[in-house]
Chains A and B, each alone.
Chain A
């Protein structure tokens, strides 16, 4: 058995929360060790954000080829899609990012240990490495074990029943795909497969798609689904599956109570993710939980002294950028800096067709928080740039929510093609405490989609120029 590693900071998990915490701790001169059982990068780099965006990009490009006649592009024969090749291209990206993270950790002088850490007490864990068991004791422990897809008992993963992870590495495009759950993961992947030619059917228990976003924002996505032949069964409870191979069927109870089934080749189950709290000795660490999550304060401290937790493990929103910011903060607190997680907003992006961005409060949320609000909307149909990139007809818009009394911007949302890239300005405006006048008074380059934001603020102020 290798001798015990004694470290100042032990980071458990090499995802966007853990590896950022480790890099920052290393930069600050703290003796840091990171343990990861899989490759470095976490769900985000290996099974989530990045690979799904790669697949979505490939699907969109393929889809556009068949729909470019109106701008003068026709193909002599229908374009074909090689799923295996796309997956290997995607794997190339994740591989690059994975080695990039390893390089960054090395540069920050972080020791990495490969294997699963299992804790015997709050500051001691044993890792089963390829070379044998390795014990690590630490002064500070940062838990960043992330989350895993929720599995339904009636639809156990395996074979033709897929989680998002398997869906991103299929050998070929399924002819018929049934998706359980119309949250952002289900719809992002469902739409991508629809673009690649799958017959996609979505079953959702709630009364509308993307229940975390308001109806106004999701309407353009509903429109696209309808227009592109994706069937969505709302208020429908999945009851199980039957058959296999060619005779596979997803069974559900529709809104009127009738039992229905959907013949399909694959079933994608995307009913959420749960924090990864099991199987690594969390129960031995005397750390309190809050529901399924690890309980933390605004500095990511758990109930155990010098044990910290970040990312998906500690609650919603389960977003990589939240985890990274928490990781950076915790490293700095351990190094003696004064930090607190007091951000105005954590922006969220949904890579459906069209894309959705939300930062801060929606009009309903603002009203619920007892604010008198002004709302300004600018449709991309009125944007020259949107028209010039075929993004003016999908019903997209930018929406600004501000306080009526002092015009403080409370929230900015958008839906439309390519709007994910606007998320940075939205979040920045909120974080800087902008008022409508601050955004309206900022010259935005023409012609860009970003012009829609100042136009929306002008609309809220009652004097939009282009609508």
Chain B
């Protein structure tokens, strides 16, 4: 038996540090080879780091929210075999569990294949839940006077608390577990109008911290100029419906977004100032000739922005497929760093929740974001007649340092013309 120090490996993509998101093990746990040890967050992705060996966790370095440089020690494991160790000399005399002779008999093995140890496998995981002894109907809960008093002070009826001790004895720890599971006041009565007390605190870490930083940077540094225009999408919707009704089985169902991608591809060459990034410290604006469109996507953890690279190379169906693929990758946390960075303009849509108007926040250091609001049938005047038209607003924000109001308006008006005459989306 000896110690193995597990260091944060190079997880590629030029990443030099990662943020600890969640420990998946605790000190004292027995881990199997390839069992996840920790989730870390790099700039764009969450990565699960598995254990290279079976062993027992002796030490965890750092807590969730800490940034860890690549190559620094994260976990100290007690493992079998000498070959798998980095500090065999220091560890050998301290190893209390197995006779030293047993460990020595094991052949020295290369790092990748540690000798399996019976102790490591057989040892029950301490975190396994203790089987609870059920109390029969009407049986008095079994607890010491101190536990009973504490329960009373907390307003908890012990008959609801499972006991983990012998004969179903309710321990202080059982009471703690019950409290952790349930808000204290809730145990006594099911009164919906009961006063609620207390504040839950969460450390802003991981993706949420990234979002917070990005939004703060954007709103602090960029003078946003918002522009809203309404668009008659009746024709566009007719086309979209027609295409969806006649699509081939391998074609992705169309939403509005691939049409917007196409519209950007058409409009941006005429308004190059909206596509790019502004390095405001260096005072340099980059206008790429390629069009990399960021798509703001909601995931269970928060907002991420996967990127359609070289949107100018995609047709409508390809754009639809790419949007779908990226959205799924983002939602499942599987999007790569490449897929989550490098956009030069961003589009944002809340779909049916789009509202009438929004003020999208620019995905810094970009200079423009185009937001799509809700589509709705409205009575409109056309040729002196009130007619029903499918209407939708585009709410956009621009970095006013780089994009003038006039240019922004021209850009949005261009998109409006493309949407209202959908055939022009497809004509070079």
> Which residues of A pack against B, CB within 8 Å?
337-340, 342-343, 403, 406-408, 431-433, 435, 437
Q: Is the CB of A338 within 8 A of B169?
A: no
Task: Give 9 A-B pairs besides A340-B152, A343-B145, A408-B142 with Cβ atoms closer than 8 angstroms.
Answer: A338-B153, A403-B167, A406-B133, A406-B168, A407-B166, A408-B167, A433-B169, A435-B166, A435-B167
Chain A residue numbers with a CB within 8 Å of B152 are 338-340
Chain A residue numbers with a CB within 8 Å of B179 are none
Chain A residue numbers with a CB within 8 Å of B166 are 406-407, 435, 437
Q: Mark B138-179, 1 if CB is under 8 A from A, else 0.
A: 000011110011001101000000000011110000000000
Chain B residue numbers with a CB within 8 Å of A437 are 166
Chain A residue numbers with a CB within 8 Å of B143 are 433
User: CA–CA, A403 to B168, complex, Å?
Assistant: 13
Closest to B158 in A: A342
A231 to chain B, nearest CB (A): 44
User: CA–CA, A128 to B153, complex, Å?
Assistant: 41
User: CA–CA, A369 to B194, complex, Å?
Assistant: 39
User: CA–CA, A343 to B152, complex, Å?
Assistant: 13
Residue of A339, A342, A343, A431 contacting most chain B CB atoms (<10 Å)? A342
| Of the residues A338, A339, A406, A431, contact of B167 by C-beta under 8 Å | A406
- Listed by A's residue number, 20 A-B pairs whose Cβ atoms lie within 8 Å are A337-B153, A338-B152, A342-B148, A343-B145, A406-B166, A406-B167, A406-B168, A407-B166, A408-B142, A408-B167, A431-B144, A431-B145, A432-B144, A432-B145, A433-B142, A433-B143, A433-B144, A435-B166, A435-B167, A437-B166
Q: Is the CB of B144 within 8 A of A407?
A: no
Chain A residue numbers with a CB within 8 Å of B167 are 403, 406-408, 433, 435
User: CA–CA, A339 to B151, complex, Å?
Assistant: 10
Closest to A340 in B: B152
User: CA–CA, A407 to B155, complex, Å?
Assistant: 30
User: CA–CA, A408 to B166, complex, Å?
Assistant: 9
Interface positions of B from 165 to 211, Cβ below 8 Å from A: 166-169
A6 to chain B, nearest CB (A): 31
Chain B residue numbers with a CB within 8 Å of A431 are 144-145
Chain B residue numbers with a CB within 8 Å of A408 are 142, 167
Closest to A406 in B: B167
| Main DSSP-derived SS at the B contact region | helix
User: CA–CA, A142 to B152, complex, Å?
Assistant: 22
Closest to A344 in B: B140
User: CA–CA, A133 to B398, complex, Å?
Assistant: 91
User: CA–CA, A408 to B144, complex, Å?
Assistant: 13
User: CA–CA, A432 to B169, complex, Å?
Assistant: 9
User: CA–CA, A431 to B153, complex, Å?
Assistant: 18
Closest 7 CB pairs of A and B: A406-B167, A433-B142, A338-B152, A408-B167, A432-B144, A433-B169, A338-B153
Chain A residue numbers with a CB within 8 Å of B155 are 338
User: CA–CA, A433 to B164, complex, Å?
Assistant: 13
B31 to chain A, nearest CB (A): 34
Chain A residue numbers with a CB within 8 Å of B169 are 433
Chain A residue numbers with a CB within 8 Å of B149 are 339
Chain A residue numbers with a CB within 8 Å of B133 are 406
User: CA–CA, A131 to B152, complex, Å?
Assistant: 45
User: CA–CA, A342 to B169, complex, Å?
Assistant: 16
Closest to A432 in B: B144
User: CA–CA, A164 to B155, complex, Å?
Assistant: 45
User: CA–CA, A129 to B166, complex, Å?
Assistant: 58
Chain B residue numbers with a CB within 8 Å of A343 are 145
B303 to chain A, nearest CB (A): 46
User: CA–CA, A408 to B143, complex, Å?
Assistant: 12
A437 to chain B, nearest CB (A): 8
User: CA–CA, A360 to B70, complex, Å?
Assistant: 65
User: CA–CA, A408 to B149, complex, Å?
Assistant: 21
Chain A residue numbers with a CB within 8 Å of B148 are 342
B172 to chain A, nearest CB (A): 13
Chain B residue numbers with a CB within 8 Å of A403 are 167
B169 to chain A, nearest CB (A): 5
User: CA–CA, A431 to B145, complex, Å?
Assistant: 7
B157 to chain A, nearest CB (A): 11
Chain A residue numbers with a CB within 8 Å of B168 are 406
B173 to chain A, nearest CB (A): 15
A411 to chain B, nearest CB (A): 14
User: CA–CA, A338 to B188, complex, Å?
Assistant: 13
Q: Mark B70-109, 1 if CB is under 8 A from A, else 0.
A: 0000000000000000000000000000000000000000
Chain B residue numbers with a CB within 8 Å of A433 are 142-144, 167, 169
Chain B residue numbers with a CB within 8 Å of A342 are 148
Interface positions of B from 389 to 422, Cβ below 8 Å from A: none
A430 to chain B, nearest CB (A): 11
User: CA–CA, A435 to B149, complex, Å?
Assistant: 21
A330 to chain B, nearest CB (A): 15
User: CA–CA, A331 to B149, complex, Å?
Assistant: 15
Chain A residue numbers with a CB within 8 Å of B153 are 337-338
User: CA–CA, A332 to B353, complex, Å?
Assistant: 57
Residue of B152, B167, B169 contacting most chain A CB atoms (<10 Å)? B167
